[in-house]
Structure 1
């Protein structure tokens, strides 16, 4: 392959990679309720002994646990980061490797209230040209300069894995030992339908009404993990929708970047995001 051929369409690939990275925020805010939002417990959960479903719902992060770390993955992306309920802040990083050219795009976002900063790094780029050159700083984004301002992530609550809406949509939940749960979720029910993209939901059809899941609750009573086993459908292979939580109350705080660590995003950053 010649250098010219390798470079042709490279920016288009970068834009596609960036779009995929932004799509990873579905793990973060596709259907998260507001902090402190009252969750709907299943009938009978007010008794002295809560049902497994009610107990699992009670373990979902609601903003009272302090800062915590998270990680997650779906069919096409992985994401990891921090949540700071007090600051209404979050930080997450996702990396995506170009399957043909081999370079990797790592994108990080820091969110504090209604402000969004971005940092982008390209690795494995030897022999490639045409990639945009961006400052190695946190770049503050002006949403009004984005073609699709809604695509830029903002802080939208602490339930970054959409665990609350997903558990609420569970049609069966069993406790299989201390802190271990299993059951099925109806992804067509309520806000749970937003956890996957529309194309995936269409492909799943009736399979979406009974997606197997497992969950673990730590000794501190907080949710440690939630895993959905999404079956193969259409062109999509079977995969895990997984989110993990840890370091409740001990993870670092999320603060707005200042000084030489940050600057307003240059025009090339918007060119990248806007395609």
Structure 2
């Protein structure tokens, strides 16, 4: 079983390894809401490119949804911590799975709820309902857990805005246009197999975006047409609490076990 098939693998990588410490020092200080950034540039494309700058400072909350997956979390650079929870519901088969990730430098934990698939994994009962403490030396060799160690943007919005090919401002703080997601590389919200299945359509995906009064990205919605086995759906990412997120909390000691070899194996490609 490959975790990336039912989750956003890059999100796991972002939150499970010490990526939050990779920010440049001049970006590390949190900025209070209302003074975080200048107003959006007049040029629509420049406005979108500038809208993700505050994300790089690593102090915000976010949500993510699309194709049966929903999640929410926080990144808190001041405490070098992050937290993310997600749930996946398979519309065709009724299967449901969930995952929660916590990173507090230098430790990280993962809680997995694999639903019916859990019965197929040896020893899964031992960590059911528990947070598995991860050995960082093993994380670095576990495929998806070790990717993008220097990323702070969980959904890859900065990469996505750079792939904008057309954009118009429709109202104050509102934009619409098209993305060439084939040029977005490994943005976390995109699965390489889906991009491949989209073919030429990947170069012209419609999107809408919203910015707050300080020019910071608050919502990005990408409309994805049906491709391969995937139905048409929207990918929606939101950001909030710039400069005002709270630190992630360590899981209760009585709910922690050491991660099993099977857990590391599941994240490998």
Using the size of structure 2 for normalisation, the TM-score is 0.73
Unaligned stretches of 5+ residues in structure 1: 1-14, 38-47
Q: How does 1:165-176 map to 2 (within 5 A)?
A: 165-176=159-170
Paired residue for 1:25?
Answer: 9
**Farther off after superposition, 204-213 or 73-82:** 73-82
Q: How many angstroms does 1:93 deviate by? A: 1.0
The one of 142, 154, 161 aligned to 1:149: 142
Q: Deviations over 1:153-201 (max 9, x none)?
A: 6764332221111111111111111100111111122536775222212
Q: How many angstroms does 1:273 deviate by? A: 5.7
Q: Deviations over 1:77-109 (max 9, x none)?
A: 222111112233321111234668856332101
Q: How many angstroms does 1:57 deviate by? A: 1.8
Q: Quick one: structure 1 residues 218 and 208, their matched pair in 2 at CA, closer, same or farther if it must change by over 3 Å? A: same
Q: How many angstroms does 1:267 deviate by? A: 5.2
Larger radius of gyration: 1
Are 1:67 and 1:253, in contact at CA under 8 Å, matched by a contact in 2? no
Q: How does 1:1-275 map to 2 (within 5 A)?
A: 15=1, 18-21=3-6, 23-26=7-10, 35=23, 50-63=42-55, 67-97=59-89, 104-113=96-105, 115-121=107-113, 132-133=124-125, 134=127, 136-145=129-138, 149-152=142-145, 156-189=150-183, 191=185, 195-257=189-251, 259-260=253-254, 262-266=256-260, 269-270=263-264
CA–CA separation in structure 1 for the residues paired with 2:191 and 2:97: 22
CA–CA separation in structure 2 for the residues paired with 1:36 and 1:223: 21
Are 1:116 and 1:153, in contact at CA under 8 Å, matched by a contact in 2? no
CA–CA separation in structure 2 for the residues paired with 1:187 and 1:129: 37
Q: How many angstroms does 1:119 deviate by? A: 1.4
The alignment yields a C-alpha RMSD, in angstroms, of 3.8
Using the size of structure 1 for normalisation, the TM-score is 0.71
Q: Quick one: structure 1 residues 55 and 102, their matched pair in 2 at CA, closer, same or farther if it must change by over 3 Å? A: closer
Classify the secondary structure of the residue corresponding to 1:158: coil
Are 1:27 and 1:162, in contact at CA under 8 Å, matched by a contact in 2? no
Unaligned stretches of 5+ residues in structure 2: 26-39
Q: Quick one: structure 1 residues 66 and 24, their matched pair in 2 at CA, closer, same or farther if it must change by over 3 Å? A: closer
